[in-house]
Every structure is written in C-alpha cells, then in structure tokens.
Chain A
C-alpha cells in the first residue's frame, strides 16, 4: 500500500505543515524529528516561494524567513536526502508550480524520489493544466495529492479524484491558509459527504484554518485526517530560543493528538 494512504488505515492521522528552511534547514531537520517523535503521522514541508498566493500571512512570513536564510529547492531536497534514514513518517512537499517548473519537472520527480519523499501538493496546478509533472511523479511512485474546495463542481470532483493519490486534500472553506474563520465551517458535513461519494476509498484530509484543539474536536467526525500549518508555525514562532520553539511544537502536537483521540 501507498505509504501515505497507509497512515489512514487505523486512525485519523495528523498532518502538519512547516516551511522548509524556516528559519534554517538545520531547524527544519530538528522540527521533523520532534514532530514525528510526538506522533505526527505525515509531515508536509513547504517549498519557500516569493509569491505564495494561496497562503495567508503566517505562511507568507515563514516563506520569507526561509528565503532570507538562503533556502532553495535544491538545498531543501539535498537536506531531506541527507536525513532520510532517520525519518520514519511520510514526507510530502508542498509548493508552487513555478518552483517545480524552474527545477525541471522530470528532474524534480527523480530527485525527490531519491530523497525518499512520498508525495507532492501543488495548490496552483489545477487538474486541467497540461503539466508533465503527473506523468513523472507516477513514474517514480510519488503521490500527487490534489485539492478540492467547497465550491468544486461534481464534474470537477470526478476529474480531480481520478488524478489524486495518497489522500484528497479538502480545503475547509473559501480562503487562504490560516484564515481565521470563527467556529465551525458552515456546511462542512454535507461538503465532505458529497466529496466522499465520489472519492470512494481515497481518504479525505481536511485543512485550512484548523487553529487548535477546540476546532479539531468540532470537526474531527467528518474527515479521515486533518492538516494543520499556520497554527503550528505560530506556536513555534512564539518561542524565543530554539529549545523553546521545539518544546512549543511538541506541546502543540500533543494537544491536537489528544483532541483527535478524545473525540474518537
């Protein structure tokens, strides 16, 4: 079975996002170990980009810090390659299409495969764009995790689900990452029911705006797993030293894991 899908077998996995190289690649490495030690099931690493138009302020700033530190896609892949034997959870790269196009789609698939990366998410590459990327990812057995949104039509859902592997990234509401929507998402249950009808066995991951344990408790019944980015980055950033940042990350993950378990 696919390494990513396997994480959905016996639990509702917690997927967390951090920006690669924020504030340094060394820190990213330490965060990866910390997150997996605390029970994170899948780790998404953001490819820093100068113009991240699907992201809210928290991830924009994270991206900027990573770029300031000199992070490039090449260096990020090299870092992951170097540490891959110590990483047990599946790693997923999330980034914008220009970074991949510039790297070379074939070379990208080849190099991330060598680095042990299991999946890729490109939010600005919709299903109908004629990119070669899908072909190359499939060739190397890397999952392409596609996104759907509450306003995606049934027709598009079908096309997207056919192309998506690993899991289906269900964007919780219309907006950017880290969007602070109060309370429960309107119509969430119906939205995910509608998606599930088409998705069949493909697990549904829910993300965008899940900001803490309270929200997790309210929504955890509906998806197969949850994705948290901005809120985790905020918690990490609240630390003044490296040790504090790592401790904050650990504590945040614990709280979320408990919230998931309590409700199930």
Chain B
C-alpha cells in the first residue's frame, strides 16, 4: 500500500489504534473509486441531491468594476447546504455505508462541514455527532441550529483554543475510542493518509467541471484560478485538474487576519514551518518549542493552524502561488460582491475574491480569471452586522 506522501509531506502520524481503520478505509476507497456502480451512485447524488454541476458564472459587473481581466465565479455556493463541503461528505458517507459503520463523527469550524455531514448522515440514516469549538458555536449559531435540526448532536469542545484545531483533536480521540463502529468524516484535505488524497478526489469535480465549462464558454483554459486556503479542500478541488497545465496560474489565498506581523493570522504556508499535526506532515503555525500556535481569522472556516500536505508540496515545487488576505480585505470583498453581483459570498471565499483587487486590474481584458466561490455567506450575516456596528462606532 502506498504511504500517502506528496514527496516529504503527508504520512500517517496517528496512534496505533487507528492504523487498522485507516488501512480499511484506504482499501475500501481504492476498491470503490473505480467501481462503475459506486461512481454512478455518487454522480446521481451529486446531480439530483446537491444540484451539480454548479454553474460557472461570468461576473460582468465585477469585471467592469475592475476594468481588467474577465472574471468568472465557480458557484459552489449553489450546492445543497451552501458550500463545496457536500461533495466530500456524499462520497465519504457511501464509503461508511460500505464499511458497515453505524456512526459518523466530524469536526467543524464554520459549521459548513458539520452541516454537510449532518445532512448526509440524515439522508443515509446514520447516527451523527459533530465536534465544534465552543467559540465557533457562538460565532456560527445558525449552523448549530441546522445541524440539530438534521438530527446530529453538536458537542462543544472547550479544550485548548476552542476552535477547529481542538474540535479535530476531540474527533480523533472519539475515533480512537470508537473506531470499530464509527467512521470519521474529515472535512478537508488534511489528516492521515488516505484522507488528503481521498478528499481531494471527491472535491476535484469542482475543477473538472470548471475545465469543461470554461472550454465551452471561452474555448480555452483560464489564465488564473483563485481559491481560499484554510485546510485547503476547495482549493485542491479546483486546482488539481489543472496542475499539469503550466499555463494556468494557480493562486491560493490564506487568511492573514489582522496582518502577518500582528501574529494574529492563519497564514500557515506564508508564515509557518514544517511539522506534524492531526496525522500528517505539512506546514504548521508553531512556536520555537514546537507548540501549535492558535490561528486567527475573522472566518471560522480558515481559522486552522495547519494545511493539507499536498498544498505544502505544491508550494515546495512552486506550482501554486500562495498569497494572503486580511480580515479587512475579505470584508471589503464580501461587500463588493454583494453590491455588484447580488451574490453574498462566504467570508472564507471572500478572501479569494479580495485578491482580484490586486490581480484583475493588472491584466488585459482578454485574460481570464476563475474564482472558486466556495460557499455562500448567509451564515456570516450576524458576524457582518457586528463588524458594521463596530465600524459605525469608530
């Protein structure tokens, strides 16, 4: 069996208890991945249940506003449950059924992956418990209600920084204890092998569709693809089918929070060092003693001190350019897209959108940019209201 390395990044750094479960998962995944019955089942769920393919929308008003390259948005926000997360949870729930697991657990930050997991657990009638940092529960109350409505139990995590990192620790501890009847649906391209590879494969449909759609609309591949990077699943999903097309420039945008120099950020690839967290070797935010530094971002979905190992690899070979955007830049992009296009983006996706400000005006009008609009922003409205009130009080 392959050991799940992208050169020096990846691997399986987990307690021995989990090794049989990871072997089983890898085996079942490799078996089903090329099985026409599985492929068709997943395809029809993605089409009829989630509403794929999502559109590739020409953002005419935004294009005019910047006066440079043509801007397209890959509308992952139009998926069932409002983000790309369901592409992965649908795939994994079918694997869980195949392995005969009775119970599903997951970690969630913004709550999008939690909702997408609770949704498929309801649909396939499996027990579901979602670990969520106590602080995130407060920031993302709407998604907590949704998960509960869908029949999942949301377990508040009060250890450590009470955010996504700690929710992941707790989910792993639960899995270690209940490994025989439980499947852990990791929500991003992180964790021990085979997760980074498997989640990428479930998310690559974003890039596969984009490729076909841009060919239909423009007769060629785009010049740039932009995506936000927390753990990095939406970015891996849209980047992966283009990795071999050297003429397509790939840009991943991390969250630099209050600025890299402030120390309050989540820009792992920009400011981190290689280490091991949550089962794989990748870039990490860590101090001199190797302690994980809590990440910070206005967006709960990017608030993670690690990043998928394949991103670390793509950085090391300089195939993807990793940039970052601050809270303020993301908020400005959030407002702009709402006003210009009538689309309210997730704060996570707003980080990718904000990079247009730097890039689009510099390019010619015949150049093409695709931005992965990974999720919709309904969940962020309360947060946004608070920001506006704070701004008005200044």
A interface residue numbers (CB < 8 A to B): 49-54, 56-57, 60, 67, 72-74, 96-99, 101-103, 123-126, 128-130, 147-149, 151-153, 156, 160, 171, 174-176, 179
Contact of B180 among A50, A125, A174 (CB under 8 A): A174
Complex CA–CA separation, A109 to B290 (angstroms)? 17
Considering only residues 14-43 of chain B, those with a C-beta below 8 Å from chain A are 14-17, 19-20
Q: Which residue of chain A is the closest to B166 with respect to CB atoms?
A: A51
Asked if B165 CB lies within 8 Å of chain A CBs, one says yes
Q: Is the CB of A174 within 8 A of B177?
A: yes
Chain B residues positioned under 8 Å from A147 (CB to CB): 15-16
Which residue of chain A is the closest to B3 with respect to CB atoms?
Answer: A128
Q: Give the secondary structure class of A's interface.
A: loop
- CB neighbours (8 Å) of A54 from chain B are 15, 173, 176
Q: Quick check: is B95 within 8 A (CB to CB) of the other chain?
A: no
Distance, CA A137 to CA B137, complexed state (A) = 44
Q: Kindly state the separation between the CA atoms of A152 and B16 in the bound complex, as whole angstroms.
A: 7
Closest to B159 in A: A60
B393 near A: Cβ within 8 Å?
A: no
Q: How far is the CB of B157 from chain A (nearest CB, A)?
A: 11
The count of chain B contact residues (Cβ–Cβ below 8 Å) is 35
CB neighbours of B288 from chain A (8 A): 72, 102
Residue of B nearest to A95 (CB): B290
B289 within 8 A of A: yes
A153 touches B289 (CB 8 A): no
Whether A102 lies near B278 (C-beta < 8 A) is: no
**Interface-centre pick from B176, B179, B275 (highest chain A CB count, 10 A):** B176
A102 in contact with B289 (CB, 8 Å): yes
Q: Is B276 an interface residue (CB 8 A)?
A: yes
Determine which of B3, B20, B172 lies in contact with A153 in the assembled complex, contact meaning CB atoms within 8 Å.
B20
* A171 and B173 form a contact (CB under 8 A): no
Nearest residue (CB) in B for A70 is B289
Q: A123-B15, A151-B20, A153-B20 are in contact. List 13 more A-B contacts (CB 8 A).
A: A49-B290, A51-B165, A51-B166, A52-B169, A56-B173, A97-B276, A99-B290, A102-B290, A149-B15, A151-B17, A151-B180, A156-B19, A176-B176
Q: Which chain A residue lies CB-closest to B13?
A: A124
Q: List 25 A-B contacts (CB under 8 A).
A: A50-B160, A50-B292, A51-B166, A52-B169, A53-B14, A72-B289, A73-B289, A99-B289, A101-B276, A123-B15, A123-B16, A124-B13, A124-B14, A126-B12, A126-B13, A130-B3, A151-B17, A151-B179, A153-B20, A160-B16, A171-B16, A174-B179, A174-B180, A176-B177, A179-B177
A156 to B21, CA, bound (A): 13
Q: Once the chains bind, are B291 and A50 in contact (CB under 8 Å)?
A: yes
B179 to chain A: closest residue by CB: A174
- In whole angstroms, how far apart are the Cα atoms of A174 and B273 in the complex? 32
A53-B173, A98-B276, A126-B12 known; A152-B290 Cβ under 8 A: no
